[in-house]
Amino acid sequence: MISRTPSFPNRWHCLYFAVWACGLLAPQLWVATTRQSLPPVLGVRWERLYHISGVFSGRVTRWRCNYIEMRFAGSKTWEDFRTDLYSSIHPSGGRNRLDRMLDDSSASHGGELRRRMAQYIVQKHRQLFPKSAAVEELRFVRVWFDAGSPALARPAGAWVHPPLRLVPAKDRKILSTHRFQKGKIILPATRFQAPVVFGDAELRALLEKGTRWDSLDLTGSQITAGLLPLLVEKLPGLKHLSLAGTGYTDAWGGPLGRLSQLTSVDLSRTKAGSSSANWLTSLKFLRTLRLDDTAVDAWMAGRLRGMPGLESLSLARTKTGADILLDLTPWPQLRHLSVAGCALLEGQLAKLKGGTTLESLDLSGIPLSDSDLRALRRLPKLKELRLDGVPLPAAGLAELRELRRLESLSLEGTTVTKAQAESLRGHPTLKKIVAADGIVTLTPAPSSTNKSMVPPKPSKPGVPPVKAPATTPAKP
């Protein structure tokens, strides 16, 4: 038998080891140096894997719990739901199978998951308590407890969640509400858009029928402040609200501030003033805010900087200065920004800060210079740019070519024609240009090297290279 001397590991083994080492050490290094969790860009699954490993973890500041509440026929009171009666796995550390399933509620399939869980729970409840009143509504609630909170104190025996009524409203989030009729779930109409003629009487009639919506669009309606208490009472889990073009004033903020689940608010073309910042900044889950054509001043805009969770912000045609609008560092998750028609931004884009996550920007109606366009290079993820009605300088198109990730460019209402826009053909990512006289559709240039310029791969050892056939010039 011939014995072989172990050789040095080949390069593939070294590469595998390097990938494994980076995957293990990089998260540890991040948490150790920043004292924070993993970056959100890695996603929920990576975050969960990291927590499962329990390696080099930081100190937990808030604990998350999931609650389930029921409302029975003939009652207006929500009652806590004992998950230990319905789960086949006994609670371990106050958690069980239903809790673990609800952890996935933030995923893309979360809505369907909760709907199926609600149907299962109601059916199981009828089996366990056949003489009980029928379940009319069931809702899932997520709660956060600060570390060291008295609510987390361990009582005698097994730990159980404290009653939900003892949890402050600011620490709750209603994930979803499900209605039932004769034990079967009712799929709700999640969105309502008011017709042209729509006032208090029409909305009151719909709300008193028990209609439930996640999204309520009252743009241009004639509703008044007198109906707001009923709206808040009937739609506590409302997520999207549009009052654009209504009679909204700052006084409406009192009752609207109780809609703590709102993620999107549109107050464009209303009398929203400085006092509206009080209830808007209290919305912990707000991600989209539109205040176009309102009296937003520097003080109110400064208050909006205290909302780091914003992903989309529109302040078109407001009187807000560059010192606030162009410093995007307070909004680390901002992806869409519209400051169209903000006259105070003329010639001020050099003050642009932050915006590393910005994907869409609307600068329509603002005169821009070469230096202003050059400042847009600081936005590494910019994909969509609107410059409608902007008088571009002579070298404007050349500067726009340097935005290497741009996919859509709107130049409507400018002097740039389709023929001039053709000069951007060959851009690596640009797909569409809206010029003054029409739309130009482009094919992004390939990012890799032209295959015709790549030399042929060397042949295998022992095999002679194949010669290319000689080409004979055609006879005249």
Structural domains of the chain, with CATH = 62-186 (no CATH), 191-441 (3.80.10.10)
Residue-level pLDDT at 250: 92
**What pTM value is reported for the model?**
0.60
Per-10-residue mean pLDDT for the chain, 476 residues long? Answer: 55 80 72 62 60 54 80 87 62 56 62 83 87 89 75 59 76 84 69 77 85 86 92 89 93 92 94 90 93 87 87 90 82 93 86 91 90 90 93 82 92 89 90 90 64 44 45 43
Residue-level pLDDT at 443: 79
Residue-level pLDDT at 212: 73
Residue-level pLDDT at 48: 59
Three-state SS string over the chain comes to CCCCCCCCCCHHHHHHHHHHHHHHHHHHHHHHHHCCCCCHHHHHHHHHHHHHHCCCCCCCCEEEEEEEEEEECCCCCCEECCHHHCCCCCCECCECHHHHHHHHHHCCCHHHHHHHHHHHHHHHHHHHCCCCCCEEEEEEEEEEEECCCHHHCCCCCCCCCCCHHHCCHHHEEEEEEEEEECCEEECCCCEEECCCCCCHHHHHHHHHCCCCCCEEECCCCCCCHHHHHHHHHHCCCCCEEECCCCCCCHHHHHHHCCCCCCCEEECCCCCCCCCHHHHHCCCCCCCEEECCCCCCCHHHHHHHCCCCCCCEEECCCCCCCHHHHCECCCCCCCCEEECCCCHHHCCCHHHCECCCCCCEEECCCCCCCHHHHHHHHHCCCCCEEECCCCCCCCCHHHHHCCCCCCCEEECCCCCCCHHHHHHHCCCCCCCEEEECCEEEECCCCCCCCCHHHCCCCCCCCCCCCCCCCCCCCCCC
Residue-level pLDDT at 38: 62
